[in-house]
Amino acid sequence: ATAGVQPGSEAGNQLVLRHRSSIGQWYEVTASKQVLLARMYVADERFNETYQGHAEYLLRLVEAQVQAEGVDLEKVEWG
């Protein structure tokens, strides 16, 4: 389970990479795209329900991982 997994930890980073890979089966998902998707999950209650109320937690995990990859969270783009 994911209880207690901290953003930026090895376990947290692995969850983020698995999430990216699972979406990557449908289309290319860059780190920037993953941030935008995670932000959408928070903004749209339907997605938050899909993630059983854990969309903000996923966003924190994603943001920590992509920052470690060198992504500027203020400059993420889809394209």
Report domain extents, the chain: 10-70
| Segment 36-65 mean pLDDT | 95
CA 28, CA 10: separation in Å to the nearest integer?
23
Structure tokens at 50: 């899909």
Helices (H), the chain: 10-24, 31-43, 45-50, 55-68
* pLDDT of 18 over the 70 cut: yes
pTM of the model: 0.90
Residue 3 zone, left/alpha/beta (φ > 0; ψ -120 to 50; rest): beta
* pLDDT of 79 over the 90 cut: no
CA 7, CA 57: separation in Å to the nearest integer?
9
